[in-house]
Amino acid sequence: MIYIVYDIEATCWKGSPPSMIQETIEIGAVKCTYFGENLGEFSRFIKPKYNPELSLFCRQLTKIEQHNIDRANGFESVIYDFMDWIDIYNENYMLCSWGDFDRIHLTSESESYDLETDWLQQHINVKSQYRDLRKMDRAKGLSKALSLEGFEFTGTPHRAISDAQNLAKIFLKHVDMWQV
């Protein structure tokens, strides 16, 4: 089994205006084995179709600059690259994310482009299972969970590749505990 520990970042606004459509702007992922071997990383920006101009709030939160987005490919191109990188047709894999937002959002956005979504269903919600594992009343954020596990957050918070790399630390520490 290959594990794809991933994170996405999406367009965002202060107060989330109801007329704005959230679109994926970054995918970051770590491909690893049960034994913790890192088989590679995937990191791509995505140019949004409906709201290509990032809000100030989004740029400040994610540290993603407008020029990164302006030079990026669109969702379809990047999602196909991601699917190829995972090798969804030949690889025995499991997607792993901190919560369900990433899977639900990628599914919804893929459907809006009439793209295949079955490959997104093989998924572990690490946040939910971590809450149960640690017998917490409610789920904590990734940074808090890292601290509880004795890890420091490395990289840039709210950047997809950094969040994926940090999530992989927790995932691999408890690799025997996750329910598929």
- Separation CA 99–CA 26 (nearest Å): 17
Give dist(CA 165, CA 153) in Å, integer.
Answer: 9
For the cut 90, the answer to whether the pLDDT of residue 50 exceeds it is: yes
Domains of the chain, residue spans: 2-173
* Mean pLDDT rounded to a whole number for the chain: 96
pTM of the model: 0.96
Pick the CATH number of 2-173 from 2.40.290.10, 3.30.420.10, 3.60.20.30, 1.10.10.410: 3.30.420.10
As a whole number of angstroms, the distance between CA 92 and CA 163 comes to: 23
Tens of pLDDT, residues 150-168? 999 999 999 999 999 999 9
CA distance 137 to 173: 21
